[in-house]
């Protein structure tokens, strides 16, 4: 008896394979049921990053700060005040062309180290102002450094089907006392279970998340 089309797709989603098992080892919160959806999203984003084709590819720092109603510049300045002579590490998840990072670099110079992360590099792009460029899934990347400031505008959180794993990885990448500012424009449309999972991950890390009024921006700080 042939398997109905919908049932066959569901079985394919749940069947383990070597690649998925490897991903799960990298981040245990990767969810098997969302694997196929996540891979499809990743391929779409890779294509847009490779072409520089999405509308947020060259978003300026001023535009991000206006949409967040939060000053990334001020947060970096606060970290510099506490860091004394140490460089402050800043990560942009879903950095596009790195426009915002380059503007931070213009303001603070060698006092900060800038890192951008994206799914795929556009070969003709120069990525000015970025000291380090990471290519890969934001839920799985494992940079050696820890970051004092992480921000993500319209990037991985909006497009990833593995949002709980992404939040978990952001916590891991933050330095003690580090601050993350994330655009979560689709928060109100998420499934209740997914929201509960993410809040549980934050709570387990001793983090109390803060949202703006319309729950489009999430801010959290990792404890020392």
Task: Output the pLDDT for position 189.
Answer: 75
Q: How confident is the model at residue 184 (pLDDT cuts 50, 70, 90)?
A: confident
User: Of all residues in the chain, what percent carry a pLDDT higher than 90?
Assistant: 41
The pTM assigned to this predicted structure is 0.75
Q: Is 5-221 in CATH node 3.40.50.150?
A: yes
Distances (CA, A) of 178 to 57, 206, 210: 25, 13, 14
Q: What is the pLDDT at residue 12?
A: 35
State the pLDDT confidence band at 214, using cuts at 50, 70 and 90: confident
Q: What share of the chain is helix, strand, coil (3-state, %, to 5)?
A: 45, 20, 35
* Alpha-helical segments (H) within 53-191: 61-68, 72-83, 99-108, 156-159, 163-173
How far apart CA 201 and CA 204 sit, in angstroms, is 5
Pick the residue with more confidence: 17 or 156?
A: 156
Q: Where exactly are the structural domains of the chain?
A: 5-221
- The 10s digit of each residue's pLDDT in 33-88 is 455 545 555 555 555 555 545 455 678 999 999 989 999 999 999 999 988 778 99
Helix (H, G, I), strand (E, B) or coil at 147: strand
The single residue listed with the structure tokens 């400031």 is 149
Residue 7 in this model has a pLDDT that exceeds 70 = no
Question: What distance in Å separates the CA atoms of residue 70 and residue 104, rounded to the nearest whole number?
Answer: 15
Per the listing, tokens 């999972």 go with 197
């Amino acid at each position: 008896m042939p398997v109905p089309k919908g049932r066959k797709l569901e079985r394919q989603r749940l069947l383990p394979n070597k690649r998925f098992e490897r991903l799960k080892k990298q981040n245990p919160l990767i969810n098997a049921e969302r694997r196929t959806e996540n891979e499809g999203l990743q391929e779409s984003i890779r294509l847009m990053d490779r072409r520089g084709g999405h509308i947020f590819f060259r978003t300026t720092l001023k535009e991000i700060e206006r949409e967040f109603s939060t000053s990334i510049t001020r947060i970096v300045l606060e970290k510099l005040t506490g860091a004394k002579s140490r460089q402050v590490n800043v990560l942009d998840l879903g950095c596009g062309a790195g426009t915002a990072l380059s503007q931070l670099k213009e303001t603070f110079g060698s006092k900060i180290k800038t890192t951008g992360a994206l799914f795929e590099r556009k070969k003709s792009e120069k990525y000015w102002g970025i000291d380090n460029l990471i290519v890969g899934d934001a839920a799985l990347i494992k940079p050696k450094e820890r970051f004092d400031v992480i921000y993500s505008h319209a990037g991985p959180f909006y497009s990833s089907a593995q949002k709980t794993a992404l939040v978990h990885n952001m916590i891991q990448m933050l330095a003690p006392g580090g601050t993350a500012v994330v655009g979560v424009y689709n928060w109100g449309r998420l499934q209740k279970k997914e929201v509960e999972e993410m809040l549980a991950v934050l709570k387990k890390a001793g983090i109390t998340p803060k949202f703006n009024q319309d729950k489009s921006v999430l801010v959290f700080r990792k404890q020392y």
